[in-house]
Structure 1
Amino acid sequence: MLRGYSKFLDVLEKVEKAILAVTVGIMVIIIAYQVIMRYIFAHANSWSEELARYLFIYDVMIGAAIAIRRNSHLQIDILINLMKPKVRTILTIIATLAGMVFMVFLLSYSITLVQTGARTMSAGLGIPMSIPYSCMPVGIVLMLLTSIEVLFKNISALRGAGKEAQV
Structure 2
Amino acid sequence: MTKLIDLLDKAMEKIVALLCVILLLCLFVEVVNRYVFFVSWPEIQFIIPFCFLWMCMIGAALAVRRGQHFEVDLLQQFLPDAAKKIHKVIMQLSVLAAGAVIAWSSISFVNLGLIKKNSATGIPMIYIYASLLVGSILILVMALDRLFAAEGAPSDDA
TM-score (norm 2): 0.90
Please say if residues 76 and 87 of structure 2, whose CA atoms lie closer than 8 Å, have aligned partners that are also in contact.
Answer: no
Match of 2:38 among 42, 58, 75: 42
Q: Which residue of 2 aligns with 1:160?
A: none
- CA drift of 1:130 comes to 1.4
In structure 1, C-alpha distance between the alignment counterparts of 2:26 and 2:101, rounded to whole Å: 35
1:34-86 alpha-carbon deviations (Å, 9 max, x no partner):
01101111112333133112211100000111100111012234332222232
Displacement over 3 Å in runs of 4+: none
What amino acid does structure 2 have at the position aligned with 1:165?
A: D
Q: Which residue of 2 aligns with 1:126?
A: 122
1:106-146 alpha-carbon deviations (Å, 9 max, x no partner):
31221232012211101233211111100011101111111
In 2 relative to 1, CA 49–134 (structure 1 residues): closer, same or farther, beyond 3 Å? same
In structure 2, C-alpha distance between the alignment counterparts of 1:100 and 1:94, rounded to whole Å: 10
- Unpaired segments of 5 or more residues in structure 1? 158-162
What amino acid does structure 1 have at the position aligned with 2:116?
A: T
What amino acid does structure 2 have at the position aligned with 1:81?
A: Q
- CA drift of 1:29 comes to 1.3
In 2 relative to 1, CA 82–29 (structure 1 residues): closer, same or farther, beyond 3 Å? same
Match of 2:133 among 137, 141, 153: 137
- CA drift of 1:91 comes to 1.4
In structure 1, C-alpha distance between the alignment counterparts of 2:10 and 2:121, rounded to whole Å: 29
Partner SS state of residue 134, structure 1: helix
In 2 relative to 1, CA 151–40 (structure 1 residues): closer, same or farther, beyond 3 Å? same
Match of 2:86 among 82, 85, 90: 90
In structure 2, C-alpha distance between the alignment counterparts of 1:43 and 1:88, rounded to whole Å: 56
Partner SS state of residue 77, structure 2: helix
Q: Which residue of 1 aligns with 2:156?
A: 165
In 2 relative to 1, CA 125–18 (structure 1 residues): closer, same or farther, beyond 3 Å? farther
Q: Which residue of 2 aligns with 1:152?
A: 148
What amino acid does structure 2 have at the position aligned with 1:85?
A: D
What amino acid does structure 2 have at the position aligned with 1:164?
A: S
TM-score (norm 1): 0.86
Q: Percent identity?
A: 27
